Amino acid sequence: MRVAAYVRVSTSVQVKLQTIEQQLEMVRRYVKEKGWELPGENIFRDDGYSGAALKRPALDALRDRTRVRELDVVVTVSPDRLARNYVHQMVLIEELEKQGCRLEFVERPMSSDPNDQLLLQIRGAVAE
């Protein structure tokens, strides 16, 4: 299993509080519980970039790696760490899936169940 992590903080206050390290620790714990390995080169972190934009250095690099089918799963803490906008979340999830890569959220694992999909939509709307 080729695993990657995506973590992000957008404000200078979040950067100073090192919440990105807390996110990374949560992702590492999740990956370990699954019995997977997370190599350092597969950790994508955007320090100080807003989730309102799709153009972010680490996210761009992650998307490039999925386009060439180098990853099987991407783990992130929650949908709002991926993107603040529900439409952007859906674009990214669909893009990953088309490349044979699934996305897993640590805080609330999602399935294709209609209840989970509705919850994802609600969380996306609240994050905006």
Q: Give all domains of the chain, ordered by start, each with its CATH number.
A: 3-127 (3.40.50.1390)
Flag the least confident range among 6-10, 32-36, 63-67, 109-113: 109-113
* Reported pTM: 0.82
User: How far apart (Å, rounded) are the C-alpha atoms in residues 18 and 47?
Assistant: 10
Q: Which residues are catalytic?
A: 10
Highest mean pLDDT among 6-10, 14-18, 122-126: 6-10
Is 43 buried (19+), middle (13-18) or exposed (0-12) by CB count in 10 A? middle
> What whole-number percentage of the chain has pLDDT above 90?
55
